[in-house]
């Protein structure tokens, strides 16, 4: 697709720090890394999302997964471990509509992955009010190795 951001990276029209490449896939560093290692593995042809990968594209699916393995090896996280994520559609948080697998590593990653989900794990809805204080999922953080969760209450402005 001519105006797709990642298609333009494949064509070399937009620069990217390439980690790995073969005939089918391209892997490059994410421009806004969320971990010391944050690489994206994409098909060289335009596929909108994981949901749009057809049953006839099995080989491409395998190439993407094998591309993740190569990235993990080349970025040095193969033995320490890493997370592979495919954000899909609106609720998945997809922002670039060219299929990509995120490879994240280089630090321990908490689970569940999203702050809103972490809020649900705390037993609270993602946002609300209590005793004149406002909480939001952004204030929910994981503390220490024992993975206790804590809600930071914020004073309401009004």
Q: Does 79 bind ligand 5GP (CB under 6 A)?
A: no
Q: Compute the distance between CA of residue 137 and CA of residue 115 in angstroms, rounded to an integer.
A: 6
Neighbours of 80 (CB within 10 A): 12
Q: Does 94 bind ligand 5GP (CB under 6 A)?
A: yes
Catalytic residue among 38, 98, 100, 102: 100
* Residue 100 among the catalytic residues: yes
The contact mask relative to Zn ion for 30-49 (x = CB under 5 A, - = no) is: ----------------x---
Strand order in 133-136's β-sheet? Answer: 127-130, 133-136, 154-155
Contacting ligand 5GP (CB under 6 A), which of 32, 56, 79, 158?
Answer: 32
Token output for 115: 């702050």
Q: Compute the distance between CA of residue 101 and CA of residue 61 in angstroms, rounded to an integer.
A: 11
Binding site for ligand 5GP (CB under 6 A): 5, 14, 16, 28-32, 40, 87, 93-96
């Amino acid at each position: 697709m001519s105006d797709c951001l990642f298609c333009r990276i494949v064509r070399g029209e937009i620069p990217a720090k390439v980690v790995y490449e073969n005939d089918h896939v391209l892997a490059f560093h994410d421009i806004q890394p969320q971990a010391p290692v944050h690489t994206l593995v994409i098909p060289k042809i335009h596929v909108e999302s994981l949901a749009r990968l057809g049953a006839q594209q099995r080989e491409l699916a395998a190439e993407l997964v094998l591309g993740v393995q190569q990235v993990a090896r080349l970025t040095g996280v193969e033995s320490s471990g890493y997370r592979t994520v495919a954000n899909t559609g609106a609720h998945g948080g997809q922002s670039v509509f060219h299929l990509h697998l995120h490879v994240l590593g280089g630090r321990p990653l908490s689970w569940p992955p999203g702050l809103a989900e972490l809020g649900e794990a705390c037993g609270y809805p993602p946002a609300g009010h209590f005793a004149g204080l406002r909480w939001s999922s952004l204030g929910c953080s994981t503390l220490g190795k024992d993975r206790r969760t804590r809600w930071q209450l914020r004073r309401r402005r009004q």
